[in-house]
Structures are given as C-alpha cells and as structure tokens.
Chain A
Amino acid sequence: MATLTHQESVTAEYLEVTPGTRKKFMLIIVAGVILLAIGIIMSMMGIGAAHHEGAAAAHGAAHGAAEHHGSAPWLKRLIVSLWHSNVFFTGVAAIGTVFVAIQYVAYAGWSVLIKRIAEALSAWLVPGLVIMVVVFGISYFTHDIFHWTLPGIMEEGNANYDEIIAGKSGFLNLPFYIARMIIFLGLWAFFTKRLRDLSLAEDLNGGTEYFHKSINVSALFLVIFAVSSPIAAWDWVMSIDTHWFSTMFGWYIFASWWVSGLAAITLCTILLKQAGYLHWVKEGHLHDLGKFMFGFSIFWTYVWFSQFMLIWYANLPEESVYFNQRLGGFDGQYTWMFFGNLLINFVFPFLVLMTRDAKRQMIMMKIVSIAILVGHWSDFYLAIMPGTMKAENGFIIEIGVALIFLGAFLTLMTNRLAQASLVPVHHPFLDESVHHTT
C-alpha cells in the first residue's frame, strides 16, 4: 500500500470530558426544561397550541366517543412527546450496536477507528427501556398515546367497543405488549453489553479470539434485531393509529432510525475530531460515512415512497386515512411538515452530499448530519402526533422534551466514550482502518 511508507504506531487515546463540556450538556437540559415550562404554561393558558375547534369537531364526529378521552392538553402533550423523543433516541441508540455488528459480520476494516463512537451511542438503551416502560405505564391509564388501551374497547357490548381493534386483541394486549417491549430492548441492551465487553477485553489482552467471538455475537444479534425491530415499530409507532396498518412500516421506521444513527455517528466523529481527538480518522473515513448517509437517505425515501404510492394509488379509505390526516387533515396542520420532511430528509442530503468533495469536508457533513437528525426527529413527530394529538399538537413542549433527552443522551454517551480508549488498540483490522483511503 502506498500510504504504508510512513509507518507510525497507533496508540491508545483517551477522551477527557472537560467540565466545560459537561456544563454545555447541562445547559442543553436546562434550556429544554425552560422551554418545557414555557410550553406547559402556554398550553394551560390556552395559547401556543393550535386550537382548531372546527377541525377537531369534524374529526371527532368520525371517531365518535373515542375522541373524548385523555388528560389535560398540556399533560397529554408531555406524555406523547416523552414517548416520541424516547422512541427516536432509543432507536438511534440501538443503531450504534447494529452498526458495530454489521461491521463485524462484513469483516469491515475501515470503521475500526470509529467503532467506539458507535458503541457509546448505545449507552442510552437501558435508560430508554426504563423511560419507555414508565411512559407506557402512565399512558395505559390516561389513554393518551394508544387508543387501544381504552377500557372496554375489546369487549363486545361495551360503549367503547371497536370491532376492528377487538380483532387485534391477540397482539395488542397489556402482558404481551409489555413483554415484547422489555424482551426486545433487553435483548438489544444485552448484545450491546456483550459486544462492548468483548471489545474491552480485546483492548486488554489482544489476540484474534475476541474478534471471532464478536462476529458470532454480531450475527446472532443482527438476526434478532431484524425480527424485533419491525415488531417494535408496529408496537411503538404504528399501533397509535390502531385501525391503520402498513406492511412497509417496520422498514420505514428502521430506515429512519438507521440513517439517524449514521448521522449521529458522523456528527460525533466530526465533533471529536474538531476537539483534537481521533488523529487517525481521515477524509477517507468521513467519505465512507458520507456515502452511508447519502445512500440511506435515499433508502429511507425509497421505503417512504413505496408506502405512500401504493396507498395513494389504491385509495382505499382504511389505508389512505393515514396520509389524509397528514397531507390535509386537521385544517392542513401537518401539510408543511409533510413536505418539509421530504425536503430535509431527501432533497437536502441528496443534493448536498452528491459530490465527492462534499463528503470529505467536515463542515458539509456536519450540516447534513444535523439536518438528518432534526429531519428524522420530525419524521417521528409526523408519525406519532396526528394519531395522538390530532389538531392539538404544538412544538414548544416537544422541543423542550427533545432537548432534555439530547442533553441526557450526550452525557451518557460521552461517559461511555471516556471509559475506554477511543482507538481499539488490539482490533485485528486497526491497521487497515488507519491506512484507509477512498
């Protein structure tokens, strides 16, 4: 190899999380809390959140008695946005391990230098599981998120009885639902820990034994994740619109998580590099991450469009209601987001990352990865809000909650990053990654 001519030895490198950085993360959380407080006060006083009485009433007629349940608007918004941000952040966290696993199974060498970042991304999985169980527990009694949690909705003869939802009782019932949630997230967290432990042991002892073990663990994890992630998407997102279903939905949510996870890894790599770490990460690595983000932005659009076009073309009422609500429903409340979603998640990354030079420049990659993260958070907003908040949605509480999550997520992630060397010093493919050129 050409670049082998200047041989330098790669040494361990430890991240030092400065008090200044911790303060920044705290500031993000504080800003979130302030926004949240402002949002709650505004919502209590009846300003800020859109009140489209007409639209709500018109829609309420279609849903009948079902419309009149749930908590006060501010509380409902808080619960729903906790769910929304948690589903997004937990998914992104899971992608960290998925990324590592795919690299192992593919015998990929280039990504070794950024492997620790992907590992650290998964630090949120356990808190994510706890928050998810708690928020679901609360919403099970307030019925704010899932329509199917209404008492009596599956009992024939009850005032709330809904025949279609009753038909889904085999899947959407409390014990099974909670079990799935805990088992899936538990398994993801378990494999995260397993791969992390193997990687840390490899740092200490060296040898290829850990590498081969990691491949087996990764392969098993990928199979489990492939089956569990679509089911998680049905559970956590699709069952909000309980009547509606789409066979593309699992892939659609996975694509959203996956491209956000890639953007998070990229953004973290760039920020660390700009802070003076990751000396060995060069343009080539950035280029590959850029190709990943570019490609999977298109993949997300492909899945999104496949879902949209079939529903649009067939125009069956029970299917098109989903897009009806988002395209023009609730007085066009979500229309701008619907199209903005495509702009920020497809057109923007597609056009900006098309050239080779853009993928090799930190500033471009930074802008695009931030756009993708914001864009896919909005994508989840668009998937969750119309079904839960109807026309009563807002942004201040939601962004406040997202900022709190972001601050906490970053704190946990940097903690895990600082626990081990940023360079996996004994990874058998480390040399290949150091000399990676594209």
Chain B
Amino acid sequence: MTKRFALGIFDDEDVLLHAVENVREAGVKIYEVFTPFPIHGMDDALGIERSRLPIAAFFFGLTGLCFALWLQIYTLGFDWPMIIGGKPHIALPAFIPVSFELTVLFCCHGMVITFYTISKLYPRWKTPVLDVRSTDDKFVVAIEVNENTDMTKLTQLLRDNGASEVNQKEMSKF
C-alpha cells in the first residue's frame, strides 16, 4: 500500500524537540522522526510507549538457561556419563559458566533479531528511506497525510516551529 508523507526537515535537535512537542500539541499525529543520532527526551516528546523488548529478552534468556542446563545434564549425566575430575556426573557448579554464556547468547541474539524484525531493519533488496539526509545532518519529521489534509496549514505549522523545508513524498511498502 502506498502512503503519503509530509516531511519537515530540521537543522537542529533542540528546535526539533520543541517542534515535535508543539506539533503534537496542535493535534497532529507524527508518524515517525528520523535523526542521525539518538536524541535524549525524544521518546517522551513523541509519547512513545515503553518497548516490551525487555520482556522478550527475559524469556530469551530463560530459554537459553534451560537449553544450557538440559544440554549439560542430558549429555554429561545421562547420554554419555563421564567422570571428570572426580566430580559427580551432574556437577552443577561446573555447569554455571556454560549456562551463563548460553543465557547471554540466547538473550542478546534473540533481542537483536526481535528488534530488527519489529523495526523492519532486516536486510531487504530496497530499503525505503524517506529522506537520505536523515542519515547525515538533517532531522526529519514524518507526518502521514491523505487527500483531506490541509497541506498549507500543516506546512505553516512546521515552518512556524523551525522547519527549514517541508516536502512531500510517497512511499510504498513502508
């Protein structure tokens, strides 16, 4: 589906932050803000809800821990019991380093993959970018518009709040 966006281009992050607050106060819904680097307080200004990623991370970690314990207990305790260093077959203290490592491994990989998937940052043939300058030195506020939107009013609002230019762009698969 094709979506149409009004893009307010900003030069300065402080101006941008105030603009985002003011634009939202004026009742305009902001689709997304693209910036070259993270801006402190932007999440609050945009009113973005807290990510549920930590919850996912906890369960990825738990999966890793269970897998690690199963792997070691099953292989060393039941499938092919071996005496190592005179310790019991299931010697939990010796399992802790591997359990720790696998917990971390599952947790971070799971988290990265989940994050890339929900943010649509996975590798694609063609990555949709609204304005390439948002990866360099410009800050881009994207507002989704349709035929009913009063573009002159919106442009005026963005310009009043310090946008150096206001463009429009159509995007498919966004």
Question: A residues touching B (Cβ–Cβ < 8 Å)?
Answer: 1-3, 5, 305, 308-309, 312-313, 315, 354-356, 437
Tell me whether B17 and A309 are in contact (CB under 8 A): no
**Interface segment out of the listed B92-100, B108-116, B120-128:** B92-100
4 tightest A-B CB contacts, nearest first = A2-B41, A2-B45, A2-B17, A309-B93
Report which of A2, A308, A313 forms a contact with B85, defined as CB distance below 8 A. Answer: A313
Residues on the B chain within 8 Å of A313, using CB: 85, 87, 93-94
B14 at the interface (CB under 8 A from A): yes
Report which of A1, A305, A356 forms a contact with B40, defined as CB distance below 8 A. Answer: A1
Tell me whether A309 and B44 are in contact (CB under 8 A): no
Question: Given A1-B17, A315-B86, A437–B94 Cβ distance below 8 Å?
Answer: no
Residues on the B chain within 8 Å of A356, using CB: 50, 54
Residues on the A chain within 8 Å of B45, using CB: 2
Question: Given A313-B94, A315-B86, A2–B58 Cβ distance below 8 Å?
Answer: no
Total count of chain B residues near the partner, CB < 8 A: 19
Tell me whether A309 and B41 are in contact (CB under 8 A): no
Tell me whether B18 and A5 are in contact (CB under 8 A): yes
What's the Cα separation between A2 and B93 when bound, in Å?
A: 49
B131 at the interface (CB under 8 A from A): no
Residues on the B chain within 8 Å of A309, using CB: 93-94, 96-97
12 more A-B contacts (CB under 8 A) besides A2-B41, A2-B44, A313-B87? A1-B17, A1-B40, A2-B17, A2-B42, A3-B41, A5-B21, A313-B85, A315-B85, A355-B54, A356-B50, A356-B54, A437-B40
Residues on the B chain within 8 Å of A437, using CB: 40-41, 44
What's the Cα separation between A3 and B42 when bound, in Å?
A: 10
What's the Cα separation between A313 and B40 when bound, in Å?
A: 48
Interface of A is mostly: helix
Residues on the B chain within 8 Å of A355, using CB: 54
CB distance from A356 to the nearest CB of B (A): 7
CB distance from B12 to the nearest CB of A (A): 12
Q: Mark B48-81, 1 if CB is under 8 A from A, else 0.
A: 0010001000100000000000000000000000
CB distance from A95 to the nearest CB of B (A): 27
What's the Cα separation between A313 and B92 when bound, in Å?
A: 11
Residues on the A chain within 8 Å of B85, using CB: 313, 315
Report which of B50, B86, B87, B93 forms a contact with A308, defined as CB distance below 8 A. Answer: B93
What's the Cα separation between A305 and B92 when bound, in Å?
A: 12
What's the Cα separation between A437 and B40 when bound, in Å?
A: 8
Residues on the A chain within 8 Å of B14, using CB: 1
Chain B's closest residue to A1 (CB) is: B41
Chain A's closest residue to B94 (CB) is: A313
Tell me whether A354 and B93 are in contact (CB under 8 A): no
Residues on the B chain within 8 Å of A312, using CB: 93
Residues on the A chain within 8 Å of B41, using CB: 1-3, 437
Residues on the A chain within 8 Å of B86, using CB: 315
CB distance from B96 to the nearest CB of A (A): 7
What's the Cα separation between A377 and B59 when bound, in Å?
A: 33
CB distance from A269 to the nearest CB of B (A): 22
Q: Mark B11-39, 1 if CB is under 8 A from A, else 0.
A: 00010011001000000000000000000
What's the Cα separation between A312 and B54 when bound, in Å?
A: 35
Chain B's closest residue to A438 (CB) is: B40
Which chain B residues in 116-154 approach chain A with CB under 8 Å?
none
CB distance from A245 to the nearest CB of B (A): 21
Report which of B21, B42, B58, B96 forms a contact with A305, defined as CB distance below 8 A. Answer: B96
Residues on the B chain within 8 Å of A315, using CB: 85-86
What's the Cα separation between A5 and B94 when bound, in Å?
A: 55
CB distance from A64 to the nearest CB of B (A): 29
- Subset of 24 A-B contacts with CB under 8 Å: A1-B14, A1-B17, A1-B40, A1-B41, A2-B17, A2-B21, A2-B40, A2-B44, A2-B45, A3-B41, A5-B18, A305-B93, A308-B93, A309-B94, A309-B97, A312-B93, A313-B85, A315-B85, A315-B86, A354-B58, A356-B50, A437-B40, A437-B41, A437-B44
What's the Cα separation between A315 and B88 when bound, in Å?
A: 13
CB distance from A424 to the nearest CB of B (A): 22
What's the Cα separation between A356 and B43 when bound, in Å?
A: 16
What's the Cα separation between A309 and B21 when bound, in Å?
A: 54
Residues on the A chain within 8 Å of B97, using CB: 309
What's the Cα separation between A86 and B41 when bound, in Å?
A: 44
CB distance from A326 to the nearest CB of B (A): 14
